[in-house]
């Protein structure tokens, strides 16, 4: 894969991490807007299943906020030239665990919800969480291989 910035690899990493942070922040704002609309519906007293909808959206909102914080920490590490470190690998794993927990909580909430509320969204969280955990494990293996190579040289 060709580099976007041929001379400065650090600048490329910062750009990618900044894009991820913007995407997470945008998703966070979308979910916050939807929750505000749901609160407005509560004020009109139109919905019978308000608490279940708010809980479902709140789980997603909290997961996105936590993931955004972890990505911001990773971005600050990249700015300090700390890219392939155990700390970043652990942050990737924490992001995966956060997404997995959001999926599990969505599943548990789906068991107790009333009919009419979508219960299939938890599968997306579970699959995405497993994928992120897999990337975190690959990242850790790569760091270990790099450390072994540095020791042999």
Q: Tens of pLDDT along 31-78? A: 778 777 777 777 776 666 667 777 777 888 888 889 888 988 988 888
Pair of tokens at residue 92: 């990737």
pLDDT at 44: 72
Average pLDDT over the chain reads 81
Give the length of the chain. 153
44-83 per-residue burial string, b: 16 or more CB within 10 A, e: under 16: eeeeeeeebbbebeebbbebbbbbbbbbbebbebbeeeee
Q: What is the pTM of this model?
A: 0.74
Given a cut of 60, whether residue 108 has pLDDT beyond it is yes
pLDDT at 153: 66
Which 8-state DSSP code applies to residue 81?
T
Given a cut of 70, whether residue 25 has pLDDT beyond it is yes
pLDDT at 47: 63
Distances (CA, A) of 2 to 19, 25, 134: 18, 28, 24
Mean pLDDT of the 111-137 span: 80
Which of 104, 106, 107, 95 has the alpha carbon at shortest distance from 131?
Answer: 95
């Amino acid at each position: 894969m060709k580099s976007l910035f041929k001379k400065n690899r650090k600048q490329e990493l910062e750009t990618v991490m900044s894009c991820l942070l913007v995407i997470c922040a945008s998703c966070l704002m979308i979910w916050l807007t939807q929750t505000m609309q749901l609160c407005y519906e509560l004020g009109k007293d139109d919905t019978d299943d308000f608490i279940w909808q708010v809980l479902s959206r709140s789980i997603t909102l909290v997961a996105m906020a936590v993931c955004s914080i972890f990505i911001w920490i990773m971005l600050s590490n990249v700015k300090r030239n700390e890219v392939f470190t155990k700390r970043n690998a652990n942050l990737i794993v924490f992001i995966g665990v956060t997404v997995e927990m959001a999926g599990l909580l969505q599943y548990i909430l789906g068991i107790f919800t009333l009919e009419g509320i979508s219960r299939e969204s938890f599968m997306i969280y579970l699959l995405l969480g497993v994928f992120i955990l897999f990337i975190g494990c690959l990242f850790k293996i790569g760091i270990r291989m790099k450390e072994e190579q540095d020791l042999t040289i």
